[in-house]
A and B are shown apart, each in its own frame.
Chain A
Amino acid sequence: MTGFDRATERRPDGAAFIIAAILAALGALLIWQGRAIPDKGGYAGIGSGEAPLFVGLCLWALALTHVWKGLRHGAMGVPRQNPVPILFIIGGLALQLALLHVLGFSIASGLLFACTAAAFGKRNFAISLPAGIGFALAIYGVFDQLLKLNLPAGFLETLIFGG
Chain B
Amino acid sequence: MTTFDFLLQGLGTALDPMILLYALIGVTLGTAVGVLPGIGPALTVALLLPVTYGLDPAGSLIMFAGIYYGGMYGGSTTSILLNTPGESASIVTALEGNKMARAGRGGPALATAAIGSFVAGLLATLALAFLAPHIVKLALVFGPREYFALMVLAFVTVSAAFGESTMKGLTSLFVGLALAIVGIDGLTGQARLSFGVPQLLDGIEVTTLAVAMFAVGEALFVAAQGAGLQDKVHAIKGSVAMTREDWSRSWRPWLRGTAIGFPIGAMPAGGADIASFLSYGTEKRFAKHPEEFGHGAIEGVAGPEAANNAAAAGTLVPLLTLGLPTTATAAIMLAGFQQFGLQPGPLLFATAPQLVWGLIASLLIANIMLLVLNLPLIRLWVKLLTIPRPWLYAGILLFATLGTIGVNPSPVELSMLMIFGVMGYAMRLHGYPIAPVVVGLILGPMAEAQLRRALAISQGDWSTLVSTPLAAGLLAVALAALVIPPILRWRGKGAVLKQIAGDED
- With A93-B417, A116-B393, A143-B406 given, is the CB distance from A12 to B430 under 8 Å? yes
| Chain B residues in 8 Å Cβ range of A80 | 226
The stretch among B2-10, B212-220, B295-303 that forms the contact with chain A is B212-220
Taken residue by residue from 50 to 64, chain B's Cβ proximity to chain A (1 for < 8 Å, 0 otherwise) reads as 110111000000000
| Chain A residues in 8 Å Cβ range of B164 | 7-8
Q: Roughly how many angstroms separate A163 CA and B351 CA in the complex, as a whole number? A: 42
Set A29, A39, A94, A147: member contacting B418, Cβ < 8 A: A94
- With A59-B174, A113-B395 given, is the CB distance from A2 to B421 under 8 Å? no
Q: Roughly how many angstroms separate A33 CA and B185 CA in the complex, as a whole number? A: 13
List A residues 75-122 near B (Cβ within 8 Å): 78-83, 85-86, 88-90, 92-94, 96-97, 100-101, 105, 109, 112-114, 116-122
User: Which of B84, B87, B185, B459 has the largest number of chain A CB atoms within 10 A?
Assistant: B185
- With A42-B456, A112-B397, A119-B223 given, is the CB distance from A152 to B181 under 8 Å? no
Query: How far in angstroms is the closest Cβ of chain A from B161?
Result: 15
List B residues 17-58 near A (Cβ within 8 Å): 37-40, 50-51, 53-55
Set A15, A48, A59: member contacting B430, Cβ < 8 A: A15
Q: Roughly how many angstroms separate A101 CA and B408 CA in the complex, as a whole number? A: 12
Q: Roughly how many angstroms separate A139 CA and B181 CA in the complex, as a whole number? A: 34
B222 touches A97 (CB 8 A): no
Q: Roughly how many angstroms separate A46 CA and B429 CA in the complex, as a whole number? A: 38
Prevailing SS type, chain B contact patch = helix
Instruction: Tell yes or no: B138 within 8 A of A by CB.
Output: no
B418 touches A135 (CB 8 A): no
A149 touches B223 (CB 8 A): no
B409 touches A117 (CB 8 A): no
Set B54, B388, B409, B429: member contacting A81, Cβ < 8 A: B429
Prevailing SS type, chain A contact patch = helix
List B residues 343-394 near A (Cβ within 8 Å): 388-391, 393-394
Set B85, B391, B460: member contacting A117, Cβ < 8 A: B391
| Chain A residues in 8 Å Cβ range of B181 | 30, 51-52, 55
Nearest to B460 among chain A residues (CB) is A45
A7 touches B398 (CB 8 A): no
- With A93-B421, A132-B394 given, is the CB distance from A47 to B188 under 8 Å? yes
Instruction: Tell yes or no: A126 within 8 A of B by CB.
Output: no
B418 touches A93 (CB 8 A): yes
Query: How far in angstroms is the closest Cβ of chain B from A7?
Result: 4
Instruction: Tell yes or no: B473 within 8 A of A by CB.
Output: no
Taken residue by residue from 160 to 192, chain B's Cβ proximity to chain A (1 for < 8 Å, 0 otherwise) reads as 000110010011001101100100010110101
| Chain A residues in 8 Å Cβ range of B86 | 1
| Chain B residues in 8 Å Cβ range of A117 | 390-391, 393-394
The stretch among B249-257, B258-266, B311-319, B496-504 that forms the contact with chain A is B496-504
Set B50, B390, B504: member contacting A116, Cβ < 8 A: B390
Q: Roughly how many angstroms separate A56 CA and B181 CA in the complex, as a whole number? A: 11
| Chain A residues in 8 Å Cβ range of B455 | 43-46
B223 touches A88 (CB 8 A): yes
| Chain A residues in 8 Å Cβ range of B503 | 1, 7
- With A8-B498, A96-B401 given, is the CB distance from A48 to B223 under 8 Å? no
Nearest to B415 among chain A residues (CB) is A97
Query: How far in angstroms is the closest Cβ of chain B from A96?
Result: 6
Q: Roughly how many angstroms separate A8 CA and B429 CA in the complex, as a whole number? A: 11
Set B163, B394, B501: member contacting A128, Cβ < 8 A: B394
B228 touches A78 (CB 8 A): no
Instruction: Tell yes or no: B428 within 8 A of A by CB.
Output: yes
| Chain A residues in 8 Å Cβ range of B452 | 44, 46-47
A113 touches B87 (CB 8 A): no
A78 touches B398 (CB 8 A): no
Taken residue by residue from 60 to 81, chain A's Cβ proximity to chain B (1 for < 8 Å, 0 otherwise) reads as 0010011001000000001111
Instruction: Tell yes or no: B233 within 8 A of A by CB.
Output: no
| Chain B residues in 8 Å Cβ range of A86 | 220, 223-224, 425
Instruction: Tell yes or no: B225 within 8 A of A by CB.
Output: yes
- With A45-B455, A86-B223, A152-B405 given, is the CB distance from A1 to B390 under 8 Å? no
| Chain B residues in 8 Å Cβ range of A51 | 181, 448
Nearest to A56 among chain B residues (CB) is B178
B88 touches A116 (CB 8 A): no
Set B37, B167, B388, B453: member contacting A2, Cβ < 8 A: B37
Nearest to A11 among chain B residues (CB) is B431
Nearest to B431 among chain A residues (CB) is A7
Query: How far in angstroms is the closest Cβ of chain B from A41?
Result: 8
Taken residue by residue from 1 to 26, chain A's Cβ proximity to chain B (1 for < 8 Å, 0 otherwise) reads as 11110111011100100010001001
Instruction: Tell yes or no: B472 within 8 A of A by CB.
Output: no
Taken residue by residue from 144 to 162, chain A's Cβ proximity to chain B (1 for < 8 Å, 0 otherwise) reads as 0001111110000000000
Q: Roughly how many angstroms separate A151 CA and B401 CA in the complex, as a whole number? A: 11
Q: Roughly how many angstroms separate A66 CA and B432 CA in the complex, as a whole number? A: 13
Nearest to A100 among chain B residues (CB) is B409
B175 touches A93 (CB 8 A): no
Q: Which 7 A-B pairs have the closest CB atoms?
A: A45-B460, A85-B223, A120-B390, A44-B455, A48-B190, A82-B226, A44-B456
Name 27 interchain pairs, CB-CB below 8 A, sorted by A.
Answer: A1-B218, A1-B504, A2-B218, A2-B221, A6-B431, A7-B503, A10-B429, A44-B456, A45-B459, A45-B460, A46-B455, A52-B193, A55-B181, A59-B175, A81-B224, A82-B225, A83-B224, A85-B224, A86-B223, A88-B223, A96-B401, A105-B405, A113-B397, A119-B390, A122-B388, A139-B398, A150-B409
User: A96-B401, A117-B391, A147-B51 given. 11 additional CB < 8 A pairs?
Assistant: A1-B39, A44-B455, A45-B455, A47-B188, A48-B185, A56-B178, A81-B224, A113-B395, A135-B398, A150-B409, A151-B406
